[in-house]
Amino acid sequence: SEDGQKVFNDWIFLEEVNAVNIVVQTAEGKFVVFKQYKYAVPGETFSPVGGFVDDGEHPWTSAKREVLEELGLGSSATLERVNTNFGNRDDRFRNDPKRMRNVVIDIIQHDAIQPTFDEFDIPEGHIPTSDDPDWVFLGRYRTAVNRGGGFTYLYLLKNAVPLLPNGGSELYAGTGDDEQQSIMHLSVHEVFDF
């Protein structure tokens, strides 16, 4: 019950895994979304990037990982770290999507921060420093509040740039989702027309 004094034996309560959703806007001002079909939703849908928060992972790290895996994009600060890491390596290495993905994942994991928790022991999603100013934490909410749904952490990635070969384009082969989907680049007007 709301006051914590009663137990309802016939009330379904399920603790779900926390998740992230990310609004991605390219340096050209386009919003990147998926046009897709999902198993549990009839018809065609449009969706932002999103996914689950891994155990022990800060939601912001999850957001960076999901944008990389699903779109091959990231922030200019991450791109700068990738270029510094690669130095003068030849283009064969840089054009190998699998090797590049592994390097960028390593950089994201190296930059990962430990999750922090609020007074209710719920992970916070705040971005602690300003060394990656293109990332903005928009807040969190709990899905299916009365049923124990997980928290969804919302982020905005401004000025997104390709980190992997073909990142952000129809040619990019994202990982993580098996449903049929295509990458769309929408203007602000197109977003509001939905």
Burial class of 47 by CB neighbour count within 10 A (0 to 12, 13 to 18, 19+): middle
The per-residue pLDDT for 158 is 97
**pLDDT above 70 for 103:** yes
pLDDT at 160 over 60: yes
| Whether the predicted model's global pTM rises above the 0.85 cut | yes
Q: Is the confidence at residue 20, as pLDDT, over 80?
A: yes
pLDDT bucket at 157, cuts 50 / 70 / 90: very high
The percent of the chain in helix, strand and coil, each rounded to the nearest 5, is 25, 30, 45
Average pLDDT over residues 88-92: 61
Average pLDDT (68-82) is 92
